[in-house]
C-alpha cells in the first residue's frame, strides 16, 4: 500500500511537467528521415506561466486534501501514562502483590 501511494504521488508530476514542456516547444529538431528529436526553441514566457500556474494548482490541491483529511478523520484520543498507584500487580500464581512487598 505504501508503494502504491509513493508511485501515485511521485509519478504524475514528471509526466505533467514533461507534457507542458513538449507543448511549449516552437522548433523541433528533425533528422533527414523525418524522425523528431529534441526541442530547440521554447516559448519561455508561456512556459514560465504554465509552470507557475501548475505548481500553484498542485499546492492548492494538496492544501485541500490536507484540510479534508483533517476535517474528515477524527482525532485520536491522547495517550496517557497510568500512574504507579493505579497499576495492579499480580504474581505468578494470580495472588495480589503490592508495591511495598
pLDDT interval class at 58 (50, 70, 90): confident
Q: What percent of the chain has pLDDT over 70?
A: 68
Tell me the pTM: 0.55
- Show the cell assigned to 17: 511537467
State the pLDDT at residue 28. 86
**Nearest Cα to Cα of residue 101 among 74, 93, 90:** 90
56, pLDDT greater than 90: yes
Contacts of 57 (CB under 8 A, 6+ apart): none
State the pLDDT at residue 37. 84
60, pLDDT greater than 90: yes
Amino acid at each position: 500500500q505504501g508503494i502504491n501511494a509513493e508511485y501515485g504521488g511521485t509519478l504524475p508530476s514528471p509526466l505533467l511537467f514533461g507534457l507542458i514542456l513538449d507543448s511549449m516547444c516552437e522548433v523541433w529538431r528533425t533528422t533527414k528521415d523525418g524522425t523528431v528529436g529534441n526541442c530547440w526553441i521554447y516559448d519561455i514566457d508561456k512556459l514560465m506561466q504554465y509552470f507557475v500556474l501548475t505548481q500553484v494548482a498542485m499546492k492548492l490541491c494538496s492544501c485541500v486534501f490536507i484540510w479534508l483529511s483533517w476535517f474528515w478523520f477524527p482525532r485520536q484520543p491522547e495517550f496517557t501514562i497510568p500512574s504507579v498507584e493505579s497499576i495492579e500487580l499480580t504474581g505468578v500464581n494470580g495472588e495480589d502483590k503490592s508495591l511495598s512487598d
